Amino acid sequence: MTSISRREFTLGGLAMSLTATVSSRRSNAAAPVMIDPSDPTAKALGFVADVKDVDTAANPAFKPNQKCATCAQYQGKPTDPSAVCNIFAGKAVPAAGWCKVWVARPAG
């Protein structure tokens, strides 16, 4: 049987505690908050959570293929259901959403 000194035991426990704390913080990291369509910036930019709700009379330049997932400001993969948007200060938007500052995501 191997003996462990009190110091080794304490250091081992401390290391395990730090590892658990770091892992817990990573898993509990807050997911980005979804943008609220009533947010003043969202309202000013005509944001809708689903392109089906775009007022085409008020947004004549809108095309049906325009949605957050295909916008250059969408920070996720086009297949992600939601992702952070650069326009809305780090808040998430749904992939099917849209706003007036939509710009085509670069190919590739």
Structural element, H or E, at residue 92: strand 92-94
Helix (H, G, I), strand (E, B) or coil at 27: helix
pLDDT per position as a tens digit, 62-104: 998 999 999 999 999 999 999 999 999 889 999 999 999 999 9
| Residues 12 and 41 grouped into a single domain | no
| Residues 49 and 2 grouped into a single domain | no
| Residues 92 and 49 grouped into a single domain | yes
Nearest to 47 by CA among 34, 38, 56: 38
pLDDT per position as a tens digit, 4-63: 666 654 555 544 554 444 444 454 567 899 999 999 999 999 999 999 999 999 999 999
Instruction: Decide: 106 and 89 in contact? Cβ < 8 Å.
Output: no
Instruction: Decide: 45 and 87 in contact? Cβ < 8 Å.
Output: yes
Domain total in the chain: 2
pTM here is 0.70
Domain span holding position 22: 1-30
CATH number where 95 lies: 4.10.490.10
Instruction: Decide: 108 and 50 in contact? Cβ < 8 Å.
Output: no
